[in-house]
């Protein structure tokens, strides 16, 4: 690897702050560090120290993990969809605030190759079956199927597609996104989606970490994150969570959605790479973040929906904000992803900039503005809680728990 000590020192020790943006509260600096809360400070996030059972995840358990059911927001669905497309200029846009992009991995590809390991072998591996006529594995982790209508409903337009090429998931920024395996006590093993947002922190949905009810008894167990998971393979190893953080609105929300803050953070254990202790963000990089930016906006929604490729491959949807639910502090976008996509990131300015691309009003790259929280039984929409002061408080808690987390 080319020596980059100066880059590492600057990138991983920087602590970012947020700018106050008028009545909309705080819009976050993204990527590198904690942010300050809004003037109305949210309740302190709930924290759980985790002790995963050694050797718990076996090939059989990986294979049998079910996609986490996507909570339904049908009770909050209006009887009539809006006739006008959102994002008009009838209301003022939020002010820009400060922003900071994510961080590519610090390790070169040859240094990461020894980390690859096979977790299990799907019934029909798709690893060498990537042509246009490729058939999905017979193994299905769910019996539901998405409606094949990319145009969405009303004006909730979106485009849904697998990665091209499939191997793009080994490269940043896709590599910072992955599948989260965990155990729901008394119910079995499940899988969600998530993304690395700091050198040691993974962002996912609150309902992928805690039931939203029963206090201390509501925490899930054996949480393990697999960045760039595909077809039973962990290309950058598996990473165990040492602590979990959920917002107060989710912890005390009785598991109901829409929820004003259905998101969570996981602190990941370090592991040896070439004899050197490394954080997950050094290996796969991490995405940035930005608060109060779900509406109006356009984003990549990324995750592992069970309806496509049996949940064995990363999937992406591009869409714009469709409807803001002020009552719940959530926003819906057009999407055909289903269970298993919970916790997947919603990213603005996804990917690298082209030469000469300076950006428009908001040019910083690869910032998460939401995570998949809920969907609907009758229409192709998904919702996310707004990253706001609750997210700021959550991130501050996660960053402060251990030196070097951010």
C-beta separation of 237 from 274 below 8 A: no
Distance CA(165)–CA(149), nearest Å, equals 23
Please report whether residue 372 resides in a domain: yes
The helix or strand, by DSSP H or E, that contains position 323, with its residue range, turns out to be strand 315-325
Number of domains in the chain: 1
**Percent of the residues in the chain that have a pLDDT greater than 70, as a whole number:** 75
Contact 300, 124 (CB under 8 A): no
Mean pLDDT of the chain: 81
Q: How confident is the model at residue 199 (pLDDT cuts 50, 70, 90)?
A: very high
| Residue 101 is assigned to a structural domain of this protein | no
Residue predicted with more confidence, 13 or 339:
339
Tokens of 96: 């820009």
Question: Is the distance from CB of 324 to CB of 342 less than 8 angstroms?
Answer: no
Q: Considering only residues 362 and 309, tell me which one the structure prediction assigns the higher pLDDT.
A: 309
- C-alpha closest to that of 337 among 375, 367, 300: 375
pLDDT of 42 = 80
Q: Which residue did the predictor score with more confidence, 11 or 363?
A: 363
The predicted-structure confidence for 149-181, as pLDDT tens digits, reads as follows 556 667 899 999 999 999 999 999 999 999 999
Asked if pLDDT for residue 380 goes beyond 70, the answer is yes
pLDDT value at position 78?
A: 56
Nearest Cα to 128, choosing from 234, 230, 236, 238?
230
In 10 A of CB 357, how many CB atoms? 11
Task: Name the residue with tokens 């996104």.
Answer: 177
What six digits make up the tokens of 346? Answer: 């919603």
CATH number of the domain to which 377 belongs? 2.40.10.10
251 within domain boundaries = yes
Q: What percent of the chain has pLDDT over 90?
A: 61
Instruction: Give mean pLDDT, residues 365-382.
Output: 92
Q: What is the pLDDT of residues 76-111, one digit of tens each?
A: 665 444 444 444 444 554 554 445 567 889 888 888
Nearest alpha carbon to residue 344 among 224, 179, 221, 207: 179
* 119 within a domain of the structure (yes/no): yes
What is the per-residue pLDDT for 100? Answer: 54
Any domain includes 161: yes
**Whole-number pLDDT of residue 359:** 66
Which range marks the domain in which residue 164 is found?
Answer: 45-77+111-123+149-351+362-401
Indicate if the pLDDT at residue 293 is higher than 70: yes
What pLDDT is attached to residue 95? 52
Q: Could you tell me if residue 25 is inside a domain?
A: no
Check residue 317 and give its pLDDT.
Answer: 97
Residues 353-372, mean pLDDT to the nearest whole number: 85
Radius of gyration of the chain (CA): 20
349 pLDDT exceeds 80? yes
Whether 7 maps to a domain, the answer reads: no
Query: In sequence order, which residues have a C-beta less than 8 Å from that of residue 222 and are 6 or more positions away?
Result: 52, 53, 56, 57, 181, 182, 183, 189
In the DSSP assignment, the letter for residue 270 is P
For residues 144 and 270, the model is more confident at: 270
Let me know if residue 299 belongs to a domain.
Answer: yes
CA 353 to each of CA 33, 108, 198, 363, 395: distance values in angstroms, whole numbers, following the listed order: 23, 20, 21, 9, 27
Residue 128's contacts (CB-CB under 8 Å, 6 or more residues apart) are none
Residue 190 confidence class, pLDDT cut points 50, 70, 90: very high
CB atoms under 10 Å from CB of 320, counted, come to 18
- Compute the residue count for the chain: 406
Rounded (5°) CA angle 135-126-370: 95
Nearest-5° angle of CA 352, CA 237, CA 162? 45
226 strand-pairing partners: 179
**Is 30 or 218 the better-scoring residue by pLDDT?**
218
């Amino acid at each position: 690897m080319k020596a980059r000590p100066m880059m590492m020192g600057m990138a991983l020790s920087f602590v970012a702050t947020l700018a106050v943006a008028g009545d909309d509260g705080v819009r976050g600096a993204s990527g590198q560090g904690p942010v300050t809360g809004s003037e109305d400070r949210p309740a302190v996030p709930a924290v759980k120290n985790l002790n995963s059972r050694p050797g718990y995840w076996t090939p059989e358990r990986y294979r049998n993990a079910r996609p986490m059911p996507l909570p339904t927001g049908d009770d909050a669905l209006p009887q009539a969809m809006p006739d006008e497309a959102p994002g008009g200029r009838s209301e003022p846009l939020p002010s820009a605030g400060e922003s900071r992009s994510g961080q590519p991995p610090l390790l070169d590809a040859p240094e990461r190759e020894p980390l690859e390991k096979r977790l299990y072998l799907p019934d029909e591996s798709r690893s060498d079956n990537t042509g246009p006529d490729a058939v999905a594995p017979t193994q299905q982790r769910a019996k539901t199927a998405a409606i094949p209508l990319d145009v969405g409903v009303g004006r909730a337009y979106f485009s849904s597609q697998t990665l091209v090429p499939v191997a793009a998931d080994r490269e940043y920024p896709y590599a910072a996104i992955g599948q989260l395996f965990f155990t729901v006590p008394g119910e079995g093993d499940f899988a969600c989606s998530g993304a690395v947002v700091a050198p040691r922190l993974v962002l996912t949905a609150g309902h992928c970490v805690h039931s939203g009810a029963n206090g201390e008894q509501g925490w899930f167990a054996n949480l393990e994150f697999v960045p760039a998971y595909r077809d039973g393979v962990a290309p950058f190893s598996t990473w165990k969570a040492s602590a979990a953080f959920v917002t107060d609105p989710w912890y005390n929300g009785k598991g109901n959605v829409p929820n004003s803050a259905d998101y969570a953070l996981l602190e990941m254990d370090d592991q040896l790479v070439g004899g050197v202790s490394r954080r997950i963000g050094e290996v796969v990089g991490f995405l940035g973040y930005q608060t109060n930016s779900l509406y109006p906006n356009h984003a990549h929604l990324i995750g592992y929906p069970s309806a496509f490729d049996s949940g064995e491959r990363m999937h992406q949807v591009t869409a714009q904000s469709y409807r803001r639910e002020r009552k719940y502090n959530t926003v819906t976008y057009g999407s055909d992803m289903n269970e298993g996509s919970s916790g997947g990131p919603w990213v603005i300015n996804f990917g690298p900039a082209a030469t000469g691309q300076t950006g428009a009003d908001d040019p910083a790259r690869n910032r998460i503005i939401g995570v998949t929280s809920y969907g609907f039984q009758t229409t192709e929409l998904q919702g996310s809680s707004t990253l706001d002061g609750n997210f700021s408080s959550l991130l501050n808690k996660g960053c402060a728990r251990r030196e070097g987390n951010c």
